[in-house]
Structure 1
């Protein structure tokens, strides 16, 4: 793993918590409800899909990848009758700020400097083949250090996520299989299956397919071949996420990581571990 790949993985654990408050922090969820998007999943699907416009379930199922199509179809396109994409974006932005401001209180200098380093990276981002990243990058860069940090974190986490989906597809995995394999390695099934909408029959069918490939044992635990396949996907994801960081001097990358550690840890207090995203707790 090269320096850029290591930076990409390290920054993922620090950027993702800043973005993820959008889904889990009570103040962020309250903003979606005030916009008419009552219930966790209406806010999630409307907020995350809104940069794409008034889109239906097909493209969102493809872009979000791990969700069962039936789960996506329960939210879309119906949420747009409750809140337009523009209204959902506004709720997402104001909710993120409302959640982040108390979490990041006392870290003003760190937030300002980290945002100042990240926003230029986002502005130069190559989003070819990365639909969610491109849609989020096309949004106006907001004013205010907290909003700018959240915007940059959101674009970069979707950029990494788009690359991760490509790596999973290249490995021959579908959305359910990717989750079943992960459950056979280190994440509880209870954190994955119900939060992504797959039925027990669909989960078992995916497990049977992975067993036939030699990636799972009969007990559902990943075999050495399955673990190697998972490592290969993670390595491909890191390679795909490395380009934005290749132009950064090692000292600058290290400085950025050190700036983000305290804010990331503060944001992580609004999350739970383990979680459906597979995000580990922020490390030094």
Structure 2
């Protein structure tokens, strides 16, 4: 495989598929065409377009639902963007911009790769997601399905990744971990504080307080690295996340799921170089190495 998730040496079926469809969605955030499409729609600033594009399926909401569903972002960072962003762009215009920017990025990158069959398979998986308790997955699933194969492929990947993300939030809450603590613990395992903290808007005081709470639980060592207990807790959170993401692939069936993975692999390998070496998504190409 050309992709791997940080911290997981042997991937489950669910995590393997995620590592292959996530790059399709991530293009939205990292490809320059995405930013250009939002600027053409009148919205400037990376984080404005991030919050507008990702929250748009929920409608013109305020900061509260985004703090809840995006989970890892500092509330102060969210409130600086919402609801102000809706005075600059409508949710429908944001949906249009993210689609146009994504298409502009994906078309040349996937040139020469057949996508009709994999679009059908990924769409079938996306139609099988369970929606109760999955606000972001459900909001994207409620959008009209496109007819073009490339648009269907991206839309299916987006539903599946937000569905998985909703489950990950549930797993973290069940483990008694809040948004900042989840990032501090990740940085104790396989991520970089200098990237994660500013990308999610936490202050030094908030970050250090979260680290203190994790040390009290015995999950974090004095040097900031995860302890054995912290590693075990993290592995359990990921295992629960995988289990909660399993229904689409059970419904698709083992043979079709394997076929979907096979078809997604060359796509993921084309797209992974767009992701910076250190990024908030725990995914990178093998050629980038691991910490």
TM-score (norm 1): 0.95
Secondary structure of the 1:127 match is coil
2: CA distance, partners of 1:33 / 1:43: 9
| Residue 189 of structure 1 pairs with residue 193 of structure 2 | yes
1:274 shift after superposition: 2.5
Matches within 5 A, 1:211-226: 211-226=215-230
For the 8 Å contact 1:27–1:99, the answer to whether it is kept is: yes
Query: CA RMSD for the aligned pairs?
Result: 1.2
2: CA distance, partners of 1:191 / 1:240: 28
**TM-superposition CA deviations, 1:123-177 (whole Å, max 9, x none):** 2321110000000000011121111100000000000000000000000000000
Question: 2:8 is matched with which residue?
Answer: none
1: CA distance, partners of 2:142 / 2:116: 22
1: CA distance, partners of 2:258 / 2:12: 11
| Residue 203 of structure 1 pairs with residue 207 of structure 2 | yes
Q: 2:89 aligns with which of 63, 83, 101?
A: 83
Question: 2:50 is matched with which residue?
Answer: 44
For the 8 Å contact 1:14–1:282, the answer to whether it is kept is: no
For the 8 Å contact 1:13–1:281, the answer to whether it is kept is: no
Count of residue correspondences: 277
For the 8 Å contact 1:163–1:241, the answer to whether it is kept is: yes
Q: 2:77 aligns with which of 51, 71, 78?
A: 71
For the 8 Å contact 1:265–1:282, the answer to whether it is kept is: no
**TM-superposition CA deviations, 1:212-265 (whole Å, max 9, x none):** 110001111110000000000000000000111112332221111010001111
Question: 2:5 is matched with which residue?
Answer: none
1: CA distance, partners of 2:128 / 2:267: 24
Question: 2:117 is matched with which residue?
Answer: 113
Secondary structure of the 1:280 match is strand
For the 8 Å contact 1:268–1:282, the answer to whether it is kept is: no
1:6 shift after superposition: 2.3
TM-score (norm 2): 0.93
1:280 shift after superposition: 3.3
1: CA distance, partners of 2:15 / 2:172: 17
| Residue 265 of structure 1 pairs with residue 237 of structure 2 | no
**TM-superposition CA deviations, 1:64-90 (whole Å, max 9, x none):** 000000000111001101100010000
1:273 shift after superposition: 2.2
1:282 shift after superposition: 7.0
1: CA distance, partners of 2:160 / 2:30: 19
User: Gaps (5+ residues) in structure 1?
Assistant: none
| Residue 124 of structure 1 pairs with residue 128 of structure 2 | yes
User: Gaps (5+ residues) in structure 2?
Assistant: 1-10
1:270 shift after superposition: 1.6
2: CA distance, partners of 1:131 / 1:38: 27
Q: 1:32 aligns with which of 31, 38, 49?
A: 38
Secondary structure of the 2:129 match is coil
2: CA distance, partners of 1:147 / 1:280: 24
Question: 2:26 is matched with which residue?
Answer: 20
